[in-house]
Amino acid sequence: MERQLVQKWLEIKEPLERQLEPLGEAVLSKLQLKCGERVLDLGCGIGATPLAIAAAVGPTGRVVGVEMLQPAIDVARAGNQPRNVTFVCGDAQTLPFKPGYFDSAFSRFGVMFFSEPVKAFLNIRAGLKSRGRIGFVCWRSLAENDLDALPLIAASGHLPKNLLNEAATAKCFSFATRASIHHALHDAGFTEIEIEARDIAVGTGDLNSTIEVCSRVGALGAILRQHPHFRTDVLPALQLRLRELDQPGGPQLRAAVWIVVARVR
């Protein structure tokens, strides 16, 4: 299953990265990484975000990408990564980070999947220096996210209600509220917590790539991965709705996210 998921990422790697890159950049601009810093990348996937971080910290810095999926780590290691980028396969909740080693921790849509968020942030905090920073981007609610809600609405006439209802409470929306984020970080010993709601219009490049991305990842993609027999009816409905939004450069959909930064006490 893990290898199949990573293969799906690879099939849509470029359009998916066009969609997600501006959301990660919004966090990196708040973290203000400096040359020579050591940065922990939580949920680094197949290695796109470590490249951006490595460019920010320069050759004297270091980037360690953490990812739970071994096939993703295999792809990342095989890529054209700088020498100062390394990868570790494991769970950030329990990995034994070297105490006080990192200047910053970063995540692009990785922190929502912690089964015990306070425990995870406590472990991450232990790996950060005094006054070290953490910055991440995570989803707000499904209802606020056109990026996920619009494809679901387009497909709703062809999907069972129970699957549509389950989508709203999926793990990727576990930090949908400001309070849930603040609670987890505060109880883990972080301070100066800033949680900014931001709406960012994102696209994948053209209409066809938008259909591919929306049907392979996100809320609708999760349903279709588990129930592929719905694709035959869902894809025409999705295409019809997205065509209404098409423009030069492809459809643009609103991503509703939290941009979060905090410091170690």
Q: What is the mean pLDDT of the chain?
A: 95
- pLDDT at 5 > cutoff 90: no
Cα separation, 172 vs 139, in Å, equals 7
Q: Could you read off the pLDDT of 21-55 as tens digits, one per residue?
A: 999 999 999 999 999 999 999 999 988 999 999 99
Q: Minimal CA–CA distance to 89: which of 117, 61, 47, 51?
A: 47
| pLDDT reported for residue 125 | 98
- For residue 133, pLDDT over 80 is answered with yes
Give yes or no for residue 1 having a pLDDT over 70: no
96/90 Cα distance (integer angstroms): 10
Q: Which of 113, 118, 106, 99 is nearest to 69 (CA)?
A: 113
Residue in 131, 117, 139, 140 with CA at minimum distance from that of residue 192: 131
pLDDT of residue 28: 97
**Cβ-Cβ contacts under 8 Å for 204 (sequence gap 6 or more):** 15, 16, 18, 19, 210, 212, 213, 250
2-264: CATH homologous superfamily? Vaccinia Virus protein VP39 (3.40.50.150)
Q: What is the residue-wise DSSP string for 121-156?
A: HHHHHHTEEEEEEEEEEEE--TTT-HHHHHHHHHHG
Question: Can you give the pTM of this predicted structure?
Answer: 0.95
In this structure, what DSSP letter does residue 112 have? G
* Domain locations in the chain as residue ranges: 2-264
Helices (H), strands (E): how many in the chain?
11, 7
Crossing angle for the helix pair 207-216 and 2-11, to the nearest 10 degrees: 170
Buried b or exposed e, range 106-119, using 16+ CB within 10 angstroms: bbbbbbbbbeebbe
* Maximal CA-CA distance, the chain: 54
